[in-house]
Amino acid sequence: SESRMLEGQPSFPKLCMMKPWLVFPLLAAAFSDTNVSIFKPEPTSVRDKLWSVASYNCQKLTSSRPLSEVLHRLHTDVVGIQATGQTWRFVSRQLDQKCFSKNVDEYFVVHWPTESFLNRSAGVAIALRRSVLPARAIIQTWSPDDPLLQGRAGAIRIRLGAGCDFTFICAYHPPPGAIFASNINQRLWDWQSFILQNLPIRSLPVAMLDANAALGSRPSQSCLGEPLIGPFSQFRENQRGRDMRAFIERHNMTVINTMFSWAAGPTWYNTQGACSRPDFIYTSPAALTATHDFQILRSIGFGLQLPYVRTLADHVPLYWVFKHPCPFPGSRAIFRPHKDQVDRFTADSGRITALQTQLDDWLSSSTTSDALEVARSTGDVDTFWGLVNEGVHYFWLRNLEQSPEQRFPAETPEISRLLAKRWDLRQELFSVQCDLTRPSWYSRSLENRLHRVRTELALERNVAWQIRQHRLAQEIVSSVWQKLWKQAWRKMRFLSQSGAGPRNRFYHQVPSTSPSTAQWLDALEKPGGQGGCQAVRLWEGKLDEFGMFARLGQAAMIPNTLNQSHPALHSEDNERANRDYSRLLASLKRPTRGFAVPFWSVPREIWKTLLCGSQRFVMLRFRVLELCRMIRRHLTFPLLWMLSLAQPIPKFNRKLWTDAYRLIHLLDPLGKAWFKGLWESEEFSVGHTAFGFVKDRSREEATMCLRIWLHRLSMYGLQVIIFLHDITNAFPSLNWVKLEKYGLQSFHASDFLLLQQRHQQGLALLCDALEEAAVVRAQCGTRPGDTTAAQSFAKAFDKCIKHWSREKFSILDKQFLATRDPWTKTAVFMGNFLLADDLAQIFVVQPGVDTVQAVVKNIADLQDFLQSWNLSLNLDKLQVLIVNRDSSYAWRFQEFKHTTALPGLSKATAHDVLHLGISLSSTCLDADDGSRVEIARRISSATRAWQENFNFWLRSDVYLQFRVAVYMATCFSRLICGLSAMVISKTQEHRLETWHDKRLRLLLLGNAAGYTNKEVRIFCNASSVHCALLRQRVKFMQKAARDPQHHTAWNAALTGVLIGADTQLEGNEPSANANPWLRQFWNDLQIVASLSPEFQKELKKFGWRYLYRCPSFHRRLTLDRNE
């Protein structure tokens, strides 16, 4: 056993004679010596940790080096930076945004920018080295609310689990000659006083500031004799210094750089020979005795200065090394791999082969085989999976740690290699210079080698940056072709390093407070309609103690009745297990966008490479197949497959505490793939008017159906009201009885039991920045992030609305809201349109009925019905739209606005509402068919995207083809997004074409003079707005014609019969009184027929009524961009 451990292989005792309930703890204990178990913390301590802090005024980063080089040269655990400048921002500042964050090399930087005219030279930042102070350890941030202090100060509090607790403050006091200098100076001291007064005793404050003050040599002590201000100074004290002295004595703080004679020199110089000491670091007196070093880094400060700057005025950094005066036991570090690391690992065939060889040898060993056989014979699925998962996890980490990317993570492996080489040369150069017996020529040779490595590193980083930009551009173009708009915008933000996200949300924002585990527990225990899931607490404690609970508490977490065999199903176990395994491999092979996994799991790409890669290594595949058979035989699955890591994701909705976050559950990737295969064994189907999580049914189709039917009812002479409902906390709230009855009823009995366990026995691990952990079990709903959550909710919610419609709507209502699809002869109810948890309801006002009372009763009835399903309406997001049918519209609108029968109804009623990101207007009967409002929004959105990247469009060093591709993927896609769902008049289309043509001419950088707009589009290989929308509509009609059963609601709304209204079809062609959408589609077909003689004959024969019978229309048609 010891020899195997020395070789790096985990070993196990003989377990053949052991009792079954002792197997899992013994196997976990066997892994404890390898230091890879998910249950045992690494024995780290911060008692002897030396912390390093630097404070530096970078002069707006215009007269000094770039930020990455500043951080690299200082190379301390914490860096406080003052005067970052107005232009240095990660994203644009908006409304109440406080501070923003970004990863810069090995640092996590929190930045407080400024946009005030008075503070244009301000801006502060705090940089944390991620290897010792991870970003997740930030538990609180402070930002000044006073506009005069924007960009002048910022603070964060960090707690490392049960370890050290820091509060870092960075402040930049204005110089004496600035506007309102004395007022701002006093307000900054008051703001720092507020922070210090509310800090707990165990938190060590460390303030890095440019105080623009002169402290004299008069020493000061506290009432207990603790030194506060030292006697070492070369300058006379001024009024600023007296204000600072009063602040220090009032709060019993110690100014570190006044305590040492070598730190008494100036920290600022200018070209006229003037100098002063405006920079200070103050902290608690307890940290003074733990100080190991304090220096003024004049050589580094002058090295950071750019020599070609005309106005040379330079600050030098302060450097402080100390121990935390109140050390506590440390916490373990959880390794979370990056996607780039995993991609590089899976692309390296040599390391993959080595990993597969080691796994096969380990699984073939006698000790491992004996342990697995005991677990299999006793039906212990937890032990079997825990052993396989731990083995793969251990050997993967062992092979990953041999790579240079693990030591120095960087953009490319070559940069990581150069960083490692540079580090080794620095270490060797330091040892040579400390050894006086070594010759000087050897030291100079090392310096030359180090200089060459730095040059190579700069060139390699430049090449890597260019490759990154081109790769992102290609991904943007491919995302646009696949209509993955969220991915395209995410890549564009990476490309430009600025700009807002979808719905103008700003990312990289550091929240002012993050909810604790106790707050999450209180929120999850609430009912579903109030934002919870009726969760039950199973365990609370420290994250390091979770392993013991998972080992000893698994029997309490899983009912014993679930761990029994079912003889009635035993005959088909193997056959179903083989199908499960095949579907598991198929699920792993499919590309996915998600990467994050819980810390006890192996990334999905590793499992995909091991199970779907080379066929020479079969032991792991055989064990996974055995696991599938055990799951089928005992109808239970491993505990770690049921356990999820609940990760809070900011919503950016400007709310507080838990309302500002969304919980996403990270589950084991192999378990997710297994359940995805099981869920897809039955065909997923929902109603004709349900569009969420359904393939080939887009939000544009849902909006189009709603617009068409709204237009037809209004033309018929009916008063129509649209209700746009939103469900509160939809996924975690749904009643399990309803979910299983309507979402799982079509599955086999054994599949039903397994899918039932997926949500009923699901566990969630909560953990905050203080590593306070808890395990909870929900009593309703599904888990966002699970593979079965979305579609199972969609099926159940669709049945819920169908039941309510059957009870709510009368025969007279159904007369106007029901029609039949001419293609499939299917009856369709057009009263409700669903997309996920968004419900659009069409309400027809009957003659002689009080409209306000009818509306209030409709909302109250829906709320009561949803509560029986454990759901609730979010009345704050309710939107009501009254269609402008006649002259009584203004009176009806004012009647709704002034009603008080239902709270929030007046606020919800509007002339224009937003449905699925597309505007719906009350002017649907006007000449533009209600498209004017949405087109104005599209132009505004595209203009904003153009302005955010304006400097990029005018760069002559970037190829025109590249700039046009990025423009089409970002600005043009925003311009036409969703417009295929509406009828656009000639006037509105001309507005769009004009905006588009002007931008294309700007991209030509003055070379478009004398050319027509069409010639400019051809030269840029860009489509016109008219042709782009035509292609989108034709592609949609092709999909509908290939699968008429899948788009029944669209064709029913377009051509279905409305009793008493004008017919839409005369024979096989649209009638003269057809709705404008049908006429627009028919004109598009005429254009396509003019380009394809074969389709022209078929269209003349079949017409619209039998369009699905045209075989040539099903094939892909080639349409020129500017045809």
Integer Cα distance of 46 and 159 in angstroms: 12
Integer Cα distance of 1071 and 1057 in angstroms: 13
Q: pLDDT of 86-124, one tens digit each? A: 544 444 443 345 678 888 878 888 888 876 544 555 788
Please say whether the beta carbons of 605 and 348 come within 8 A: no
Give CA 42 to chain center in angstroms. 29
Minimum mean pLDDT range among 184-193, 964-973, 1018-1027: 964-973
Integer Cα distance of 588 and 696 in angstroms: 22
pLDDT value for 53: 93
**Quick one: residue 866, left, alpha or beta (phi over 0 = left, psi -120 to 50 = alpha)?**
alpha
pLDDT value for 714: 81
Integer Cα distance of 517 and 773 in angstroms: 6
pLDDT winner (highest mean) among 197-211, 492-506, 907-921? 197-211
Residue by residue, DSSP assigns 939-991 as: HHHHHHHHHHTHHHHT-TTS-HHHHHHHHIIIIIHHHHTTGGGS---HHHHHH
The three-state (H, E, C) secondary structure of 989-1025, written as one string: HHHHHHHHHHHHHHHCCCCCCCCCHHHHHHHHCCCCH
pLDDT value for 112: 84
pLDDT value for 61: 60
Ordered alpha helix ranges (H), 733-788:
736-743, 749-760
Rg (CA), the chain: 34
Q: Which helix (H) or strand (E) holds 647?
A: strand 643-650
Q: Is 642 exposed, middle or buried (0-12, 13-18, 19+ CB in 10 A)?
A: buried
DSSP state of 168: E
Minimum mean pLDDT range among 239-243, 835-839, 952-956: 952-956
Q: pLDDT of 588-622, one tens digit each? A: 888 777 778 888 888 888 898 888 877 777 888 88
The CA-atom distances, in angstroms, between 622 and each of 139, 518, 524 are 45, 43, 40
- The residue-averaged pLDDT of 699-713 equals 87
Above 80 in pLDDT, residue 550? no
Above 60 in pLDDT, residue 23? no
DSSP state of 342: H
Integer Cα distance of 818 and 694 in angstroms: 22
Q: pLDDT of 989-1026, one tens digit each? A: 899 999 999 999 988 888 888 888 888 888 888 888 99
Minimum mean pLDDT range among 689-698, 881-890, 978-987: 881-890
Q: Nearest-CA neighbor of 104 among 88, 128, 138?
A: 128
Please say whether the beta carbons of 1073 and 1025 come within 8 A: no
3-state secondary structure of 670: helix
Please say whether the beta carbons of 840 and 915 come within 8 A: yes
Split at pLDDT 50, 70, 90, the class of 835 is confident
Above 70 in pLDDT, residue 651? yes
Q: What sign for the dihedral angle of Cα 375, 381, 386, 389? A: positive
Integer Cα distance of 269 and 257 in angstroms: 17
This prediction's pTM: 0.70
